[in-house]
Structure 1
C-alpha cells in the first residue's frame, strides 16, 4: 500500500482528502500544521507529499524546499495545493511535481497521484 503525507490546516479539506484517498487504498498520514509535520516519525518516507501553501505556522513551499534537500526523499513526488499562490511561484521556489489549484477536482487530483505513485 502506498503512503501519502498531507499537510493541510483546513480540517474539512484534510478530512475529505483522507477519506477519499483511503477509499482508493492509500495509507494517509495527515498533519494540520508545519510543526506537526516536523514532529513526524522520520524513520519512514512516504510515496508522495501533498502540501498546502498557507499554513498557520509556516508554508508548504518551505516544507517542499526542506524535503527536496533531504537525500532520503530523492525521487519522492511533492504536490503543492493553493487557493492563493500561482504555479510559477511554487515552481521557482521548490520545483513541485504537481501544482493543484483550490478548489480542486478530486478525480483530477487522484489521476495525478496515480501517475506519480503507481
Structure 2
C-alpha cells in the first residue's frame, strides 16, 4: 500500500483528504503542523509528501526544501497546496513536483497524486 504524508493545518480539510485517500487504498499519515511533522518517525519514507503552504508554525515551502535536500527522500515527490500562493511565487525556493490551488476538486487531486506516484 502506498503511503502519503499530509501536512495540513485545517482539521476539516485534513480529515476529508485523509478519509478520501484512505478509501482509495492509500495509507495516510497526517499532521496538523510543522512541529508534529518533524516529530514523526523519520525512518519511514512515504511515496508522496503533500504540504499546505501556510501552516501555523512554519511553511510547507520550507518543508519542501528540507525534503528535497535530504538524500533519504531522493525521488520522493512533493505536492504543495495553497489558497493564496502561486507556483511562480516560490518555485525558486522549492521545486515541488506539482502545485494544487485551493479549493480543489478532490477527484482532480486524486488523478494528480496517482500520476505523480506512478511516475516515481
Normalising by structure 2, report the TM-score.
0.96
- Report the CA distance between 1:90 and its aligned residue: 2.7
Counterpart residue number, 2:52: 52
Cα distance in 2 between the residues matched to 1:107 and 1:97: 18
Distance 2:76 2:100 in 1: 17
5 Å-filtered alignment, 1:1-118, equals 1-118=1-118
Task: Tell me how large the CA RMSD over aligned residues is.
Answer: 0.6
Distance 1:105 1:90 in 2: 23
Which segments of 5 or more consecutive residues in structure 2 lack a partner in the other structure? none
Q: Which runs of 4+ in 1 moved over 3 A?
A: none
Distance in 1, matches of 2:102 and 2:44, equals 29
Aligned length: 118
| SS of 2:67 mapped into structure 1 | helix
TM value normalised by structure 1:
0.98
